[in-house]
Amino acid sequence: MTEDTNGGPEQPGSQWYDSEAGPLVRPYAMTGGRTRPGPRGVRFDLIALVTLDEGAPGPGDSTALGPEHRALIELCRAETQSVAELAAGADLPVGVVRVLLGDLLEMGCVRVSRPVPPAQLPDEKILREVIDGLRAL
């Protein structure tokens, strides 16, 4: 029998977990086994911008939201953030954040918008000509 780092006997199967790892919750437990966001037709791209809606619960509201949902709401409360920023700020996998954002969207807590695609932005050449024209005035 081997000893663990505290000098006691090592428990079978404990070599993958230590006291510094903290609580371990599987991603499917946070999403109820779901892998896709709730509303049909909504895509949560990494660069999709998430804004807190006026209908979102306040910091003191005791709602049926889970701790992960509340963490995302608090991150959005400070400023509009992308899905990737929310995942990093909440220290959750992007897939989990997408499912949780789907829940929040269905509840009316958040709004999601996408940045303008590069193909729809004005051509840089045209913008430079406008700047040069304005400078000539």
Confidence of residue 135 (pLDDT cuts 50, 70, 90): very high
pLDDT per position as a tens digit, 27-62: 666 666 665 666 666 778 888 899 888 767 766 665
Query: Burial of 49 by CB count in 10 Å (0-12 exposed, 13-18 middle, 19+ buried)?
Result: middle
Q: Average pLDDT, whole number, for the chain?
A: 75
Give the orientation angle of helix 83-90 with respect to helix 67-78, to 10 degrees.
120
Report d(CA 134, CA 137) in Å as an integer.
5
Quick check: pTM over 0.85?
no
User: Which band of pLDDT confidence, cut at 50, 70 and 90, is reported for residue 85?
Assistant: very high
